[in-house]
Structure 1
Amino acid sequence: MTPAEYQALTSSKLSHPARSLYLLYLRYQARADLTQPLDYPELGRALAVQGKGDYRYRVTPAELTALIDELQQAGLLSLTERTHPQNYHGARFRLALKNLQGLAPLPARQFAMYPEWRPDEQLDSLARLCGLLDSHFDETELGEFIAYWLGRPEVFENQHQWMLRFVRQLKNRRALRRDPTAPVTGYQQAAAPAKADGSPSKRAQEMMEEARRLRDKQQESHDEENT
């Protein structure tokens, strides 16, 4: 599974039956990035859950059509051939995110933010996937992002997810630059000019120090409670 597929499949907007249809049937049966012609009776049997002598869960043709619409809206399927205007029986789709190039396999390990964190070489490809054409950043932007999340040590993400958060910050900064009247919230503020030496700004350094202090204080309190 590519990171792009994972991101789409874990969206709260996608239902569990739609995820199951994609992962357990469409992707599994596909040849390269193209599905086989969809067979509604076969799809219904693949998704059905049978109890003792009867079905506990069954999918109607109308529900199958709605599930496929969900997958298209999520960007996972792209229609290439359709034989019936009212449904997708016999239709073929391209798995639009299956062979997306430029992204490394999704790392499984999650971690809290730490002062030395940096995005990796996949940032540019990920930014373009998210609609951000310019992924360049300065040390002030990075420092303020790290400082914000250092103050939230209960948040654990993997490298890919941390980079997604960073890309969202960069997108918000670009939007604020285009619209200087937009309100400023949290650490999502207009970017300050990069310092000549490439180091974080004084404000970013202060934020990081304060975040470390709060984290150490929380750890001391936790240690005292456990002694």
Structure 2
Amino acid sequence: MTPTEYLQLNSPRLSHPARTLYYLHLRRLAESGAPVLLSYPELGRALAVEDPQQPGGFSYQVNASQLTRLLDELQEAGLIRVNHPPQESHYHGAVCVLPCLTQAFNSLPIPQAAHPMQPSWRPGEAFHDLAKLCGLLESRFNEEELGEFMAYWLGRPETFATDHQWMLKFIKALKARRYTKTSLTPMVGTGYQQVAATPDSGPSPRALQMIADARRLRAHEQGESDEKE
């Protein structure tokens, strides 16, 4: 039962037979979301209560005019909407819909079907929000990262997943890839933060000193060789 149905059915202006007619009969007929054909004989049988003291008798029954009043109650409460009644005095033969129920059907998400990875797959609109929920604050990705992920799973066609599950797998792959890159990058301290060290564009001072010493030694050895000749 939807919240709107619950509120309307608990209205003190709605009679108990009207509630019973809606919940135990009309709602059951409309569970597929299709319109309901109002048949007075069928509605009357749905509400009738057999009398155990009289075989074949009934302790409670409604006639056509009573059914019309019950349907009026449901329509005024917004629980049913009758489309083009054939007669002004009754609803027999008319078609009705249950707005509260059809709205609930229309608002339900369509279940996703599991499928293997496909060459045309792309993360959906919910990817960035989902990534943040999973702890991946930087959710932007490039074609190389996406292509590597897709290539891995395209080679495993026996694996099926929904789009939501594929996005979770991609987020996990991005986190692993970025963690590996970060762990391989030296970290240096800057105040209270640890940041990745940026490599210098040229040799370090120590390397330059070693190069100079090697050149002087090579020049000295070359000079001694010339003197001997």
Could you state the TM-score of these two structures normalised by the residue count of structure 1? 0.43
Q: Which has the higher helix share?
A: 2
- Highest RCO, 1 vs 2 (Cα 8 Å, sep ≥ 6): 1
Larger radius of gyration: 2
